[in-house]
Amino acid sequence: MTAVDDLWYLGDVASQAAERTYHELADSHEDYVEFTRHRSVPRPRFRTVAERVRDNGLPYGAHTVVYRPSGELLLVYHDDVGMWVLPGGEVDGDDSFRAAARRELREEAGVDADYEGLGILGRAVFHCDGRETWGVLPIYEARARSTDLEADDPDGEISEARWFDELPEETRDREQLLEWRERRLE
């Protein structure tokens, strides 16, 4: 087997893990927004993503769309991405996806929230040299218990946390967040 074949095999194994994770989440939740995002990546990035997905089905970890009773949504500014994003990150050890999302929310924004279920279920499809693999993007919904913000990200990727009534144009997954808000909060 060549190195190229190994990469494609890894992609297939990752896709199988993503399929299991997707169905576990979809079967245990109702009434969530769904989307699919496609991205072409170079071989080294394809390998990195496939290795992450192989472990638990997730390429980027678990995230939270958290809102205040007034309807404002919390976003954090991710310096490496150069965009406002939902707080979230990698799943550590035996953490559940929801526990990881909660931990990351506290670290990146200093907020506690009451989790209500799965708000958005995304699929991230990665393309490389005519092949693909994919992973699941679980985004939990939660109502903020505390609303004072303090970005104290131990990874140093998040520089600011802010509540938004009007989402900035440079918000990742902006359309899906607006659809979620329309379904849930208005």
Digit-coded pLDDT (tens) for 87-137: 999 998 888 999 999 999 999 999 999 999 999 999 999 999 999 999 999
Share of the chain above pLDDT 70, in %: 96
Tokens of residue 178, six digits: 């607006």
Distances in Å between the Cα of 69 and the Cα atoms of 1, 86, 94, 184 are 56, 18, 32, 11
Contacts for 127 with CB less than 8 Å, ≥ 6 apart: 38, 39, 40, 41
Q: Locate the DSSP E strands across the chain.
A: 33-40, 62-67, 73-78, 83-85, 88-89, 113-128, 131-144, 158-164
Contacts for 83 with CB less than 8 Å, ≥ 6 apart: 77, 170, 171, 172
The model carries a pTM of 0.91
Tokens of residue 18, six digits: 């993503």
* Spatial CA neighbour of 61 closest among 38, 40, 86: 86
User: Could you give the domains of the chain?
Assistant: 3-184 (3.90.79.10)
Task: Say whether 186 sits in a helix, a strand or coil.
Answer: coil
User: What's the whole-number mean pLDDT along residues 157-177?
Assistant: 91
